[in-house]
Amino acid sequence: MGLFNFFTQEIAIDLGTANTLIIHNDEVVVNEPSIVALDRNNPKNVLAVGKRALMMHEKTHESIRTIRPLKDGVIADFNAAELMLREMIKMVYPKKPIFSPSWRMMICIPSSITEVEKRAVRDSAEQAGAKEVYLLHEPMAAALGIGIDVEEPVGNMIIDIGGGTTGITVIALAGIVCDQSIRIAGDEFTADIMEALRRYHSLLIGERTAEQIKIQIGAAMKDLENPPDDLPVNGRDLVTGIPKQIMVSYQEIAEALDKSIFKIEEAILKALETTPPELASDIYRRGLYLTGGGALLRGLDKRLAQKIKLPVHIADDPLKSVVRGTGIALKHYDRYPFVMR
């Protein structure tokens, strides 16, 4: 086995709707948007992946198409997902090794996933060159990444606001006790911003511009302590059809995102209602943990704390906590009972 182990390399993958991260030897080696650009005439020909493909997104001509293979946290386009994974795994070793290693992969999946969707993830990984594939539920990975001891008999609530789904999970004794998943997350926020600008400014903007607005001035409350400056936004005027620029304030964005955030609050309350009372008392003491890209929305922790009247903690690096946890689980994959073979 010694020789075989020498060629077996371990990687942990967070296959997200918006970003894919890969950890190898305890460091994040790949952190790229989950998007791939393919040649229309030859769909097996990958033109670009990750950041380069994102730059092409919504700017292509008829012989290039950009695909986001994951929708709502699960694989929607199987072939594109496999091609994207393969290209991203190549990025782990920029210099081609003499012997291509056989990979042991740990991939995290949403907890609300069906058997068929689980199968799609496993098959994609095997097609991309994995010898062994282990699966792990995202809330578990997030909890490990935040630094929570998941095996102790104490309840913790993890709220993971990703690109496609928001998962609200209560974890105790290395297992998932109750779980709410709603398909309202980063992508929905982006769509809300596009819709608001179209409605109030009759300005048509693309997905990428809306994403930039969300990152730069996105907020969950209308009164922030240190508010960001207004942002100039370029787009096409729907009335005249001519490109124009407007200034957008963070209050407008907070207004646009209000409905979606309200739905997330409702889901959290619903999850708390189904929590067993002993775990509820643990959650009262410990508070809620926010992770995922949505946790970076300004003022979201304050807004949730006001609504739910419990302390809300944001993970240190919310975008990377899931992949870090997956890396930890991969190191001890035989010790943790919640790793799926």
Residues in binding site for ATP: 17-19, 163-165, 211-214, 293-296
Q: In angstroms, what CA-CA distances link 245 with 35, 149, 222, 232, 301?
A: 28, 50, 23, 6, 32
Three-state SS annotation for 303-325: HHHHHHCCCEEECCCCCCHHHHH
List all residues 6 or more positions away from 309 whose beta carbon is below 8 Å from its beta carbon. none
Six-digit token string for 172: 């105790």
Run of H or E residues at 104: strand 102-109
Buried b / exposed e along 117-127 (16+ C-beta atoms within 10 A): bbebbbebbee
Residue 235 is encoded by which pair of tokens?
């787009």
- The residues with which 298 forms a beta bridge, in sequence order, are 219
Which letter does DSSP use for residue 2 in this model? H
Q: CB–CB of 205/253 below 8 Å?
A: no
> From the annotation, which residues make up the binding site?
17-19, 163-165, 211-214, 293-296
Find out whether 250 and 298 touch, Cβ atoms under 8 Å: yes
Distance CA 119, CA 134 (A): 12
- Residue 325, token pair as written in the block: 């946890």
The single-letter DSSP state of residue 40 is S
d(CA 315, CA 40): 41
- Quote the tokens at residue 192: 């809300």
How far, in Å, CA of 31 to CA of 293, rounded? 13
Q: Which of 123, 115, 147, 94 is nearest to 320 (CA)?
A: 147
